[in-house]
Amino acid sequence: MITAGSSHDQVVVLGTAAAFGHYCSSSINSTSVGASDLVPDGYLWQFSSPDTSSPTLLLGQNERGTLYGAFAYILELAQGNDPIKSASNTTTIASGATRHVSNPAAPVWWVNQWDNLDGSIERGYGGRSLFFAGGKVVADLRRAAAYARILASVGINAVVVNNVNADAALVHTPANIEGLGRIADAFRPFGVRIGVSLNFAAPQSVGGLQTYDPLDASVVAFWDDVTAQLYKRIPDLAGFLVKGDSEGQPGPRKYGRSLAAGANLFARALRKHSSAAADSPGILMYRAFVYDQLQESNWKADRANAAVSYFAPLDGQFDDNVVVQVKYGPIDFQVREPASPLFGHLQKTNAAIELQVTQEYLGQQCHLVYLPPLWRTVLDFDMGKTSGKASLVRDIVTGTHFSRPLGGSAGVVNAGTSDTWLGSHMSQANLYAYGRMAWDPSGGDDDNDAATPRHIIEAWTRLTFGGSPAVVDTIADMALASWPAYENYTGNLGMQTLTDILYTHFGPNPASQDGNGWGQWTRADKNGMGMDRTVRNGTGFAGQYVGAEVAARFESVDTTPQDLLLWFHHVPYTQPLPGPRPGENTTVIQHIYDAHYAGAETAASFVTRWAALNARNALNVDAERYASIARKLAFQAGHALVWRDAVCAFFDGLSGIADRHGRVGHH
Ligand code: GCW
């Protein structure tokens, strides 16, 4: 227990609730400090009434909770806030003291790193790996430890350190297991546990076995042995992450085994090692991102159908320490997707939502795209009535809706050796927000809630650039305008991000969206576009929503929200749409032109808004960060024009329909 402060009314007492109860047993018992209100990793702040001389208490349910409570307290002070005033959900208790309790919404609030053993990071835009180089764990892990501190400060409790496209050798050589142990040692002081991605074929590719069949006894023994070695070095291992049978990765289907059999293989190996150090059994995160290459000529083929068709029939067959990790949308981190319908089907299975902090399809850290508003569309999505009540995705993933013991979220972060960790200063707001929303995914309904996207970006801005109201307002306004702008200039009306789908996922390439085996199609031809995902005439995807009212809403063009129109329906370019102002009409093609011009205009305004802050001397930012952000915004503004012109020219050429305002083409 640490005490700080010189005068009595500034004393803050920091520790676990149990230690505090023990220490103060003569005057205050642990019930009176609210220990019973806390779940593991939760914390409370207790402020005495002004007329008593008791210290402020900052108590965690466990040591990790104490750390989160301390970071949260410091983050308030650093914003110039008085924690007692800014604390939400406070209650007044006996003796007039005020208590604020904060508990994580679910046990899993992890991040994933897609780091390879050679030191590269798949879809990483912030430099090389913090963990690996040249096939092994790096010797100097000081920067990894600094990353652990960042993660703890935003409230993350575990990191999976290597790519889901996993290198089998990572867990096979004693040197690598020792290296993983050193990473865990670097993270442990910050309460962040580590997890490891496994390669399903390792028993065969590095283990010398003839098979990797999950039901084969020698394969079970292989994984038991690997798991035992890892626990020997890392007694608080968080668990494993497995991507099987997807995008060329090996998996159980090769042997005709179910995905549940594949997941349970690892879950059982983990379960044998529940230990006090880990304070809960190791968790097997199993990815729902499983799909096959499809025949585009088949109008009914749809990659979006894959997750439900594979996983829904397996509901109830996964062991209790398995969590199925589901990407937020049915395709792949697009700028706009409906929530994955799989969330509604996992009623007897633990589920977690997978979000992407690294901006793979979303500008790759060269564009300002503040992601929480996108994440909210999915977390707040209602799958329809199940068990007689609304089923919001956020309640499903925390386990509360279907009464599951585990659940939560995984954020693909891909931080690296860059000075900015992620490749740009502004993208750090997304990591900060991910931490806040993973701890408390409920925010957003109420404008006064500290977890709304606006409150989160305002807090991040104050912490990063100081509290000048002009800076806070400008950055918050730009951030909140950024995702809609990016959607406008890359792919509006639910058509997906029209990027180069084949390799880079960066920059416009609308022509690449069709004629490929990846299944991210727009089905654009000279008459119209959009995937027909209706049950009546299309791929049947709309019918995958468990709530009949949700399925019915998406089945009809008239009731599908406009921003998902082309996700669910194939319509002519001349399809009428309500215009931007009441009484105005537009069409799909005109919407495409207008949205791309509007989006590019917003991106251009970021440059001038940022420069105006500087001109007014309102900026509390050093010259280096000012210039770095200015450069990124200038790039974004230019690239938005490239996007605008490429997409508009493509659809102008394909449809032969002129822009009403004469901006596009040669008509
Ligand atoms: O979005 C795609 C990415 C792949 C990634 C895959 C996945 C790690 O383009 O790079 O592989 O998803 O999530 O497994």
What's the whole-number mean pLDDT along residues 110-114?
A: 98
Asked if residue 557 lies in contact with residue 570, where contact means CB atoms within 8 angstroms, the answer is no
What is residue 107's predicted lDDT score, i.e. its pLDDT?
94
> In this structure, is residue 128 part of a structural domain?
yes
Choose one of 162, 163, 165, 325 to mutate for the ligand 1 pocket test, by most ligand atoms within 8 angstroms of C-beta.
165
User: Are residues 388 and 247 both part of a single domain?
Assistant: yes
* Residue closest to 496 by CA, chosen among 238, 283, 303, 239: 303
The domain total for the chain is 3
Find the 340 Cα to ligand 1 centroid distance in Å.
Answer: 16
* Final residue belonging to a domain, choices 38, 71, 102: 102
Per the prediction, the chain carries an average pLDDT of: 92
* Residue 540 lies inside a defined structural domain of this protein: no
Output the residue whose Cα is nearest ligand 1's atom 12. 332
Alpha carbon 486 to chain centroid distance?
18
- Gap from CA of 148 to ligand 1 centroid (Å): 24
Residue 630, domain CATH: 3.90.1330.10
359 and 400 both lie in a single domain: yes
- Whether residue 308 is found in the same domain as residue 451: yes
The CA 276 to ligand 1 mean position distance, Å, reads 35
The verdict on residue 624 lying in a domain is yes
- Asked whether the beta carbons of 157 and 448 are under 8 A apart, the reply is no
Q: Which of 102, 131, 148 is the last residue of a domain?
A: 102
Helix pair angle (469-490, 453-465), 10° resolution: 130
Query: What φ, ψ does residue 15 adopt, rounded to 5°?
Result: 170, -175
Residue 106 pLDDT: 95
Answer yes or no: is 383 within a domain. Answer: yes
Q: How far is CA 606 from CA 38, 100, 508, in A?
A: 43, 38, 20
Task: Please name the amino acid found at residue 548.
Answer: A
Q: In the chain, pLDDT over 70 holds for what percent of residues?
A: 94
For position 317, which CATH number holds?
A: 3.20.20.80
Question: Does a structural domain hold residue 471?
Answer: no
Q: Phi then psi for 386, rounded to 5 degrees?
A: -130, 145
Which distant-in-sequence residues (6+ apart) come within 8 Å of 273 by Cβ?
Answer: 227, 228, 231, 237, 281, 282
> Per-residue pLDDT tens for 366-421?
999 999 999 999 999 999 988 788 999 999 999 999 999 999 999 999 999 999 99
pLDDT value, residue 310: 97
The pLDDT assigned to 443 comes to: 77
Q: Is residue 27 part of a domain?
A: yes
- Kindly state whether residues 117 and 236 are assigned to the same domain: yes
pLDDT score at 147: 98
Q: Quick check: 253 and 245 in contact, CB under 8 A?
A: yes
266 has pLDDT over 80:
yes
DSSP 436-473: HHHH-TTTTSSTT-TTSHHHHHHHHHHHHH---HHHHH
| Ligand 1 binding site (Cβ under 6 Å of any ligand atom) | 114, 122-123, 163-165, 243, 289, 332-333, 360
My answer on whether 328 and 263 are in the same domain is yes
Structure confidence at residue 24 as a pLDDT band (50, 70, 90) = low
pLDDT at 30: 42
Closest residue by Cα to atom 1, ligand 1, is 332
- Check whether 206 has a pLDDT greater than 60: yes
Task: Confirm whether 116 is domain-assigned.
Answer: yes
Q: Are 48 and 195 contained in the same domain?
A: no
**What is the pLDDT at residue 276?**
64
- Please write down the long-range contacts of 393-396, taking CB distance under 8 Å and 24 or more positions apart: 393/339, 393/343, 393/353, 394/105, 394/441, 394/442, 396/343, 396/344, 396/346, 396/351
Answer with the one of 102, 124, 156 that is the final residue of a domain: 102
Same domain, yes or no, for 56 and 113? no
Residue at 545 is within a domain: no
CATH number of the domain bearing residue 22:
3.30.379
- Segments forming the whole domain that contains residue 391: 108-465
ipTM for the complex?
0.99
> Do residues 599 and 527 both lie within one domain?
yes
Rounded to two decimals, the pTM is 0.95
Distance CA 273, CA 259 (A): 23
One-letter identity of residue 170: L
CA distance 102 to 108: 16
User: What is the rounded distance in angstroms from the CA atom of residue 20 to the CA atom of residue 35?
Assistant: 10
Residue 317 and residue 390 in one domain: yes
- As a whole number, mean pLDDT of residues 138-143 equals 98
The partner residues of 528 in beta bridges, in order of sequence, read 572
Task: Output the CA torsion 453→454→457→458 (10° steps).
Answer: -150
95 shares its domain with 180: no
What's the pLDDT tens digit per position in 433-464? Answer: 999 999 999 975 555 566 899 999 999 999 99
- State in Å: Cα 122 to ligand 1 middle: 8
Say whether both 259 and 202 belong to one domain. Answer: yes
What CA–CA distance (Å, rounded) separates 643 from 602? 13
Same domain for 42 and 169, yes or no, is no
Q: Which residues of 357-396 are buried (b: 16+ CB within 10 A; e: fewer)?
A: bbbbbbbbbbbbbbbbbbbbbbbbbbbbebeeeebbbbbb
What does the alpha-carbon distance between residue 369 and residue 497 come to, in Å, rounded to a whole number?
13
Give the closest residue to 490 by CA, choosing from 607, 631, 355, 636.
Answer: 636
